[in-house]
Structure 1
Amino acid sequence: MISLKKIVKAQTAIAPYIQTTSLVRVDYLSELTQMNVFLKLENMQYTGSFKLRGAMNKIAQLTPEEKAKGVVAASAGNHAQGVARSAKIFGVKATIVMPTVTPIIKVKATRDYGAEVILYGDNYDEACKKAKEICEERGAVFVHPFNDEAVICGQGTIGLEIMTQLRNIDAVVVPVGGGGLISGVAKAVKSLNPNVSVIGVEAANAPCVKESMEAGRILTVCCTPTIAEGIAVACPGDITFGLIQEYVDDIVAVEEDEIASAILSLLEKQKIVAEGSGATPVAALLNHKLDYLKGKNVVCIISGGNIDINMVETIINSGLLKDGRRFNLQVKLKHKAGELQKLLSLISKVGGNILTIEQTRYVNQLDLTEQFVYLVIEAYDEDHKERILSELRNHNYAV
């Protein structure tokens, strides 16, 4: 049975090994949403994620005999690093089974904490099955990523911190996957002040908790790929789901483009690096999923910041294209000296910045006297983009 007393005990147990992460008010989000928005920055936690808390509390509670046999976990990301670091601190052998598709950087980060990494299977489920087989062979302890009381209590310490860092909280908005984070936070927050709303945010591509709540029972859903891979869970845990049913007030879902825009917004406006799952609470606010919180003091938990650099590049480009701040242009020109210069001068005249340019005559639909020019242009916003296009149309360019 999870209780406030156990969460407080977890806080004492893990305090020497974790950071009390900052809670900051964000002016631009507050103005956009008409709420007082605060961010709990678990992306600044050791290992870059809240997962360290639950893993640390679980391993801290093991008996000397259990520690001697080691721990095993299955993960492709944050949980792996949390278990590996915690095990290293307590001198426990850690074995982490990771899917073969896990990015090299995450495998290396886990190994750097001293864990044995076994690459197995094409997905989490296959890796998890292998991890449990290893547990049986060795008599080791399996550290579940969310459906474990000690893990949940560890995550609940975030709720205790929030309640001491800010008075007069109206709502806490939490990313949701398997439910370990939100169930622990909700138990802590509601135990201290039952009037505070606790709201979960899922990726629409992996809505296991939302659909289970609507059905009133645990469901297994079909997940489709999401940039919020940290919360891409097909089925909530029985422990977490019971706590969510009792303590969580609402669950909403956000789409992929909404998550991407939130990541870009946090990076550009607040200089905060958030992974997809960590950005979901902000995505919910920015896309009017929680407008009933206007005028309220709202805390969003940024649960992690371990995002692949290549994904950051993709998200930035996608976000700039969506906002009209970057666009592609194809123009047909006469194939003679000076035509390209005329085009570039017009774009420059209205303040367009040319990022890339490609010129070719090797296209079937061109006449012998024509050429195609492909450009990627940077603009200030959608209005500026339209001014650039209008200027080109006024000079008889077909764009």
Structure 2
Amino acid sequence: MQLVDLERIREADALLAEVARRTPMEHSRVLGEQTGGEVHLKCENLQRTGSFKLRGAYVRLIGLDAERRAAGVVAASAGNHAQGVALAAQLLGIPATVFMPERVPLPKLAATKAYGAEVKLRGAVLAETLAAAREHAERTGAEFIHPFDHPDIVAGQGTVGLEILEQLPEVRTILVPTGGGGLVAGVAAAVKAVRPEVRVLAVQAEQAAAWPGSLAAGKPVPVTDTQTMADGIAVGEPGAVPFAHVAELADGVLTVSEESLSRALLLCLERAKLVVEPAGVAAVAALLEHPEQVVSPTAAVLSGGNIDPLLLLQLIQHGMTSAGRYLSLRVRLPDRPGSLAALLGKLGEINANVIDIEHSRISGALALGEVDVEVSLETRGLEHREYVVTQLEAAGYTILARR
């Protein structure tokens, strides 16, 4: 397979000049301190539609001839690709139909409709949605726009790599969130053509990691279980076009845990003041989990920022727990006046902030005159979290469970 070359990516860059934003590259002091190097964040979460997907979608659609444009385009996506295709089609005056899963978050559904696409909800999982979109394409003659498996998509996404080289000429490592592989393929194609010594590393959620096994096998190999909070990169099988690029050009794949993803999301929100979705923070998670794998200066691509506010609330709590700043305890107390006040007093002494508290007197494990108290606390970090537990135990409290 012929790889996308630098000339094609530069042509894509020219096509996108008045369409896509040249997203900022932000220096991150806190990540530099935590990893012992110089770290910069490529903020594709600030791109139009909230992710890098507009780049590839626009390049793919502008390449269609008049006859295919008149027939319209169709796509399947749970969010970012849907919005990229919808906006690109609107800008080019092409009718667009987007199939989305039946339980797609409402903000993503609303945004896709706002860009002018006709949205059809089909399927409980994305594979079913994809099948419905392909059937629609065959029945109507509309052009199916794959989210990553096409040279035009790779070329469009490769413009991210060109911008990184322009904004951070001294870069030595680039970390790229990776699902189907269109973004990392494009970045690797652009970067290796100009600076072959720069390391380009793909980053996957370890619970949805199809790339390590595929690269080991020498061909795309599907995985069936992709249960991760990073739904934007939960792709069961790499695309053939991206695979050819990554196999030849990229320098490896890193996988990250769910805990690292949630910690990275919280760090971006608190310290960088950037709202990033779980898939979008995979590169930051890799820095936190595998700092030894990168050579500084490092550019971490924040690939998207489209996150359901309800999910964001859950992930903030998950991230606080992973960072040791949230602690939930079940404590057994004597059921008499003053017991709860004494516990709260002790928590105040050791600077644990009470978020929520709940009594239970109906457990079968309770003896007469006992009560279980579930208390949720905000702590100052992992050391303070352990200090809270040891101080309570030293004061004679029985801790039945902690998380």
Q: TM-score range by the shorter chain?
A: over 0.9
- What is the identity, as a one-letter code, of the residue corresponding to 1:72? V
Partner of 1:154: 156
Partner of 2:311: 311
**Matched residues in 2 for 1:292 and 1:341: separation?**
50
Conserved 8 A contact 1:228-1:276: yes
Partner of 2:368: 368
Equivalent positions of 1:185-264 (< 5 A) are 185-264=187-266
**Matched residues in 2 for 1:262 and 1:281: separation?**
9
Q: Secondary structure at the match of 2:301?
A: strand
- What is the identity, as a one-letter code, of the residue corresponding to 1:110? T
Q: Secondary structure at the match of 2:299?
A: strand
**Matched residues in 2 for 1:201 and 1:154: separation?**
20
Query: Per-residue CA shift, 1:378-398, capped at 9, x if unaligned?
Result: 221233233333433343222
Equivalent positions of 1:259-298 (< 5 A) are 259-288=261-290, 290-294=291-295, 296-298=296-298
| Greater mean deviation of Cα atoms: 196-205 or 375-384 | 375-384
**TM-score for both structures, normalised by structure 2:** 0.94
Partner of 2:301: 301
Among 11, 14, 26, the alignment partner of 2:28 is 26
Identify unmatched segments of 5+ residues in structure 1. none
- Relative to structure 1, the CA distance from residue 269 to residue 369 in structure 2 (aligned partners, 3 Å threshold; closer, same or farther) is same
- Relative to structure 1, the CA distance from residue 242 to residue 382 in structure 2 (aligned partners, 3 Å threshold; closer, same or farther) is closer
**Matched residues in 2 for 1:251 and 1:170: separation?**
16
Asked if residue 398 in structure 1 is aligned to residue 398 in structure 2, the reply is yes
Query: CA shift at 1:30, angstroms?
Result: 1.1
Conserved 8 A contact 1:253-1:284: yes
Conserved 8 A contact 2:352-2:388: yes
Asked if residue 351 in structure 1 is aligned to residue 351 in structure 2, the reply is yes
Equivalent positions of 1:86-97 (< 5 A) are 86-97=88-99
**TM-score for both structures, normalised by structure 1:** 0.95
**Matched residues in 1 for 2:318 and 2:335: separation?**
33
Partner of 2:128: 126
**Matched residues in 1 for 2:386 and 2:205: separation?**
33
Query: Per-residue CA shift, 1:110-144, capped at 9, x if unaligned?
Result: 11111111111222222222212211222211111
- Relative to structure 1, the CA distance from residue 240 to residue 395 in structure 2 (aligned partners, 3 Å threshold; closer, same or farther) is closer
Partner of 1:101: 103
Partner of 1:340: 340
Identify unmatched segments of 5+ residues in structure 2. none
**Matched residues in 1 for 2:254 and 2:260: separation?**
13
Query: CA shift at 1:175, angstroms?
Result: 1.2
**Matched residues in 2 for 1:342 and 1:258: separation?**
36
Conserved 8 A contact 2:101-2:129: yes
Conserved 8 A contact 1:206-1:233: yes
Q: Secondary structure at the match of 1:200?
A: strand
- What is the identity, as a one-letter code, of the residue corresponding to 1:330? R
Query: CA shift at 1:323, angstroms?
Result: 3.1
Q: RMSD value over aligned CA atoms?
A: 1.6
Q: Secondary structure at the match of 1:155?
A: helix
Query: Per-residue CA shift, 1:122-172, capped at 9, x if unaligned?
Result: 222222222122112222111110011111111011111111111122111
**Matched residues in 2 for 1:178 and 1:304: separation?**
15
| Greater mean deviation of Cα atoms: 205-214 or 327-336 | 327-336
Query: CA shift at 1:40, angstroms?
Result: 0.4
Q: Secondary structure at the match of 1:17?
A: coil
| Greater mean deviation of Cα atoms: 1-10 or 150-159 | 1-10
**Matched residues in 1 for 2:77 and 2:135: separation?**
15
Query: Per-residue CA shift, 1:273-307, capped at 9, x if unaligned?
Result: 2212111111111112x51434x211111100112
Identical columns (%): 40
- Relative to structure 1, the CA distance from residue 82 to residue 388 in structure 2 (aligned partners, 3 Å threshold; closer, same or farther) is same
Q: Secondary structure at the match of 1:299?
A: strand
**Matched residues in 2 for 1:171 and 1:386: separation?**
36
Conserved 8 A contact 1:223-1:232: no
**Matched residues in 1 for 2:110 and 2:31: separation?**
35
Query: Per-residue CA shift, 1:75-108, capped at 9, x if unaligned?
Result: 1110000000111111111001112222222222
